[in-house]
Amino acid sequence: MIQQLGHLPMGWLLLALLAMLASGGFFVGRVQAERFSGATGSVRVHSRPNYHGYYVAMWTFVPALVVALAYAMLGEGIVRSLLAGELPANFQSMPSVELDVYLDSIARAAFDHGYGGADRVFSAIANRFLELQGMVKASAIGLALISAACGFFLARRKVAPSFRARNRVEGGIELFLFLCAGIAIATTVGIVASLLYESLRFFSEIPFWDFLFGTRWNAQTSAEFGALPLFYGTFMIALIAMLIAAPVGLFAAIYLSEYAGPTVRAWVKPVLEVLAGIPTVVYGFFALLVVAPAIRAVAVWINMTLMSAGITAEPLLAAQPTSALAAGLVMGIMVIPFVSSLSDDVINAVPQTLRDAAYAMGATKSETVKHVVLPAALPGIIASLLLAVSRAIGETMIVVMAAGQRARISPDPTADLTTITVQIVALLTGETEFDSPKTLSAFALGLVLFVITLFFNLIALRVVQKYREKYD
């Protein structure tokens, strides 16, 4: 009997239960309120019947929901720890990872309706697992019902003509809205906490300074964790990207806001934004398919010309099939709209009176732009460049596909370099266990990435905000 309970489809059951509780509470509350509001004129009723219904529904639904969520998060863990506590002594001495694997297989066998094998210990444990599961499930449902009933009766007693049901309901909704807004904070806290927690575990094994300033990176074999080559590669590729994106984006923004007519603007601006809408994996494919081979061909040609001219004896450039230049170039193209769009906004925000004053002094358009508009828009432009840099540093797919895997410090842009993001992907794809320094190092890299981009973003946001206030 209890074993049968172990097979209960809890997800659907709890959902149905919650829906029933909510609608039931609503009707009871509403009907009760209608009774006194229907009696004409005798009493002054504060809230309409529906709000009484919502009020009762709210108090029935929320306690049950809390229980359901608690079950969803903890239920499996409780069953497992109960079972683990009951296992014979020789299981207790097993390493925790092995025990987990064993319990996984028990759970799988239990849910597939029976284990047909001959291992009697295994099948006994599987049965016991189902029993415990059934007990936990039954008690979860019972608890949900009891808490809902408590809420229901408490709320029902309050329903009265003078009861301010609407205000209470609205208060509840406002709290719910606040919780939704709080998810953003919870996300940040989650990011910081998980990165910090795993990174601290990593730094308890690898000294912090060795990680930050070591020059040899060989994490796949859990041997060397000097991240300097990764920082170098990230910096190098972001630099190449910004060498493309900064001038192109800036000049495009200047042209669009100062020179172009409304028709050109109406067409070119959305097309530039398309560049920002293309998934980065598509850029990565483009880099791998078109740009990297082209750069390699050019590098080989340069090598040949230099060698045949007798200037160098050895090939000067590395001419790798994937290269920092290819990744940086394509990333630069991707980042153009981030520079141009924000710069365009801030240039447009410069008051026309400043321009008119410059023209009145006889300045040409380019002089006005250079000496009046750009200085006035400078903080905003710097902010847009910072945001673009942060975007370039955190970009993943282009570098994963076109930058390479080799951690080294080389000034040659045609050599393959690796970046923080490439290594995070390389370390965390495939089977991951959360105990080896190899996996943990990915979180340490993630922490560095988060801190760097946070730094750039905060400065940029601060600058943008300050600047907006100035001309509003």
Partner 1 sequence: MTDAAPAPFRNEKALKRLKKRRAADMRFKFYGMSAIAFALAALSLLIISILSQAMSAATYHIVRYDVVLDPAVIAPPGKDKPADVARNIDGFYDLLRDNLLQTFPDVQGNRLETRQLGDLLTRLAVLPVAKSVAANPTQIGQEMTIKVPLNDDLDLYLKGAVSPEARLKLGAVEQGIETTPGRVTLSGANAFKGLQSLIAAQRAEVGDAVDARSILVTAGKSTGRVVSMSADALEMDLLTGSASDFNAARPLARVIALPESQRNVSDDQIAWTLALKDMGRISRVPHFSLLTHTDSTYPELAGALAAIVGSLLTMLVTAFIAIPVGIFASVYLEEFAPRNRLTEIIEVNINNLAAVPSIVFGLLGAAVFLGFFGLPRSAPLVGGLVLALLTLPTIIIASRAALKSVPPSIRAAALGVGASKMQSVFHHVLPVAGPGIFTGAILGMARALGETAPLLLIGMVAFVADVPTGPTDESTALPVLVYSWATHAERAWEPMTAAVIVILLMFLITMNGIVVFLRRRFERRW
Instruction: State which of positions 411-470 bind partner 1 (CB under 8 A).
Output: 421, 424-425, 428-429, 432, 434, 442-443, 446, 449-450, 453-454, 457-458, 460-461
Stretch of 70-78, 151-159, 217-225, 353-361 contacting partner 1, by CB under 8 A: 70-78
Given candidates 29, 284, 379, 413, which one binds partner 1 under the rule CB under 8 A?
Answer: 284
**Block residue for tokens 């991240």:** 227
In the bound state with partner 1, the residue whose beta carbon lies nearer, of 303 and 340, is 340
> Looking at 254, 347, 358, 407, which residue binds partner 1 (CB under 8 A)?
254
- Residue 43 DSSP label: S
For residue 8, give the nearest of 115, 110, 98 by alpha carbon: 110
Q: Give the separation between CA 403 and CA 229, rounded to whole angstroms.
A: 13
Per-residue b or e along 417-454, where b marks 16 or more CB atoms closer than 10 Å to that residue's CB: bbbbbbbbebbeeeeeeeeebbbbbbbbbbbbbbebbe
Least gap, CB of 173 to partner 1 (angstroms): 6
Which residues, 74 to 133, sit near partner 1 by CB under 8 A?
76-77
- In the DSSP assignment, the letter for residue 336 is H
Which residues from 26-55 bind partner 1, rule CB under 8 A?
Answer: none
Candidates 81, 188, 204, 215; binder of partner 1 (CB under 8 A) is: 188
> Which CB atom, from 317 or from 438, has the smaller least distance to partner 1?
438
* 70 burial level (CB within 10 Å; 0-12, 13-18, 19+): middle
Q: Cα(81)–Cα(118) distance, rounded to whole angstroms?
A: 25
> Measuring CA to CA, which residue among 328, 344, 338, 422 is closest to residue 377?
344
Nearest by Cα to 341 from 389, 390, 241, 269: 269
Site for partner 1 in 295-334 (CB under 8 A): 333
- Spatial separation of the C-alpha atoms in residues 235 and 392, rounded to whole Å: 9
Q: Provide the minimum distance between the beta carbon of 257 and partner 1 in the complex, in angstroms, as a whole number.
A: 10
Footprint of partner 1 on residues 191-210 (CB under 8 A)?
Answer: 191, 194-195, 197-198
* Interface pick for partner 1 out of 27, 153, 259, 471 (rule CB under 8 A): 259
Q: Is residue 404 near partner 1 by the rule CB under 8 A? A: no
Sign of CA dihedral 439, 440, 446, 448: negative
**CA-CA distance, 89 to 98, in Å (whole number)?**
15
Q: What is the 3 state secondary structure string of 227-246?
A: CHHHHHHHHHHHHHHHHHHH
Could you tell me the smallest distance in angstroms from the CB atom of residue 66 to partner 1? 17
Spatial separation of the C-alpha atoms in residues 77 and 71, rounded to whole Å: 10
Q: Does 180 bind partner 1 (CB under 8 A)?
A: yes
Residue number with CB closer to partner 1 (41 or 362): 362
To the nearest whole angstrom, how small is the minimum distance from the Cβ of residue 311 to partner 1?
A: 26
Stretch that binds partner 1, among 21-29, 38-46, 82-90, 250-258 (CB under 8 A): 250-258
CA distance 283 to 30: 58
Q: Which of 190, 207, 321, 351 binds partner 1 (CB under 8 A)?
A: 190
Instruction: Compute how many other C-beta atoms are within 10 angstroms of the C-beta atom of residue 365.
Output: 14
Among 256, 292, 299, 346, binds partner 1 (CB under 8 A): 256
Q: Compute how many other C-beta atoms are within 10 angstroms of the C-beta atom of residue 119.
A: 11
Contact with partner 1 (CB under 8 A) among 38, 95, 262, 277: 277
With respect to partner 1, which residue has the nearer C-beta, 72 or 146?
Answer: 72
Closest to partner 1 by CB, 25 vs 249, is: 249
Among 365, 406, 408, 468, binds partner 1 (CB under 8 A): 365
Which one of residues 45, 283, 372, 416 is an interface residue with partner 1 (CB under 8 A)?
283
Q: Give alpha helix (H) positions in 309-373.
A: 324-349, 352-360, 365-368
Rounded least distance, CB 448 to partner 1, Å: 11
Smallest distance from the beta carbon of 334 to partner 1, in angstroms? Answer: 9
**Per CB under 8 A, which of residues 382..401 are in contact with partner 1?**
387, 390-391, 393-397, 400-401
Which residue in 285, 293, 300, 318 binds partner 1 (CB under 8 A)?
285
